[in-house]
């Protein structure tokens, strides 16, 4: 089967490798001609995961139409800010029952829409859409290091279709019907990872990191439930699993961004130095739309936003959080 992958960053490259190793032909859309040339001639992505030899069944192109030609499904792996544009481009090429899975993690600025909501708005027929998320560092997945993910869709048939597409011995795929919860977990854990990175960058220890992870999970669950998701999703791969991996691993771009903030650097510095997107930077700002809409208390997200976008001193993060009034461990759920 041919599968179209939209986005040739590290995660798009890794998922292309998974799909090709599973016996599928992969059409990988990339923005840069040099990336397309290198993948097709050298079987390497020169910008991301460049030390990994890609399966020759991964074929790159600059054209949406070429990558979608004879494809049976599409995988969107762009930064979350580009999901709407990708959905519009796909809508011009594919039919109304063409299955699409989105692997981007974020919340749309202004509207508060999740990626699957954007696909529905631009393409229609929501039952054909799915989302993929979990504790999946691209650097490990591309090499076949054992990992697992969750694939969520409101349609069990769609979830099962993509589960069969991706699942293999080294990449276990579980299904869920809670697409809302999975996507909110995917966005929110990046915010907490920035806080953990700042904490370590300021010289705090593992106790502080565990505090942020645990209380971050509490914030996450309050938001998920308020938005109509299932609280148990927060205990699964997309919630606790991805939170632990993203907050504690040095592969994590969001944790790295937090460490850079603690050292006095900015979002622009991070982008220039890594050529990557720290999705938590936008998520900490966009999640406020949902927090205000549903009246949800998100103190860690508020603190991270104040540092990233309002110029607050990272050294004040711990003081602001620990000076809050004492409450029961679980409230607002």
Q: Which whole-number Å values give the CA distances from 126 to 41, 106, 207, 243, in the listed order?
A: 38, 18, 42, 27
Q: Tokens 């711990």 map to which residue?
A: 318
> CB 164: neighbour CB atoms within 10 A?
11
Q: Which residue among 32, 37, 189, 265 is the active-site one?
A: 189
CA–CA dist 247, 195 (Å, integer): 9
Rg over CA atoms, the chain: 19
CA nearest to 301, candidates 288, 318, 319, 311: 288
Per the CB < 8 A criterion, the answer to whether 244 and 147 are in contact is no
To the query of whether residue 32 is one of the catalytic residues in this protein, the response is no
> CB 327: neighbour CB atoms within 10 A?
9
Q: Which whole-number Å values give the CA distances from 187 to 105, 116, 121, 170, 223, in the listed order?
A: 5, 13, 20, 25, 11
Nearby residues of 158 by Cβ (< 8 Å), 6 or more positions away: 99, 127, 128, 129, 130
Tell me the catalytic residues.
Answer: 189
């Amino acid at each position: 089967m041919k599968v179209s992958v939209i986005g040739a960053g590290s995660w798009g490259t890794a998922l292309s490798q998974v799909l090709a190793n599973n016996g599928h032909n992969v059409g990988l859309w990339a923005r840069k001609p040099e990336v397309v040339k290198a993948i097709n001639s050298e079987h390497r992505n020169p910008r991301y995961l460049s030390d990994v030899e890609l399966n020759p069944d991964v074929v790159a192109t600059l054209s949406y139409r070429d990558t979608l030609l004879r494809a049976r499904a599409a995988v969107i792996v762009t930064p979350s800010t580009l999901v709407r544009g990708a959905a519009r481009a796909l809508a011009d090429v594919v039919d109304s029952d063409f299955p699409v899975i989105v692997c981007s993690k974020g919340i749309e600025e202004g509207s508060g829409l999740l990626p699957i909501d954007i696909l529905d708005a631009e393409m229609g027929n929501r039952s054909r859409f799915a989302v993929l998320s979990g504790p999946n560092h691209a650097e490990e997945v591309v090499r076949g290091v054992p990992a697992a993910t969750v694939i969520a869709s409101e349609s069990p048939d769609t979830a099962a279709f993509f589960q069969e597409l991706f699942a293999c011995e080294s990449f276990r795929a579980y299904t869920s019907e809670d697409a809302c919860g999975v996507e909110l977990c995917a966005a929110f854990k990046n915010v907490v990872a920035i806080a953990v990175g700042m904490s370590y960058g300021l010289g705090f220890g593992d106790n502080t990191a565990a505090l942020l992870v645990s209380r971050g999970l509490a914030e996450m669950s309050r938001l998920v439930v308020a938005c109509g998701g299932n609280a148990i999703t927060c205990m699964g791969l997309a919630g606790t699993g991805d939170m632990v991996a993203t907050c504690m691993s040095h592969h994590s771009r969001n944790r790295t961004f937090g460490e850079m903030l603690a050292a006095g650097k900015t979002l622009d510095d991070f982008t220039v130095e890594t050529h990557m997107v720290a999705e938590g930077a936008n998520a900490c700002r966009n999640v406020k739309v949902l927090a205000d809409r549903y009246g949800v208390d998100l103190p860690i997200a508020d603190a991270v936003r104040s540092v990233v976008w309002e110029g607050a001193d990272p050294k004040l993060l711990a003081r602001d959080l620990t000076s809050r009034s004492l409450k029961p461990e679980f409230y607002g759920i």
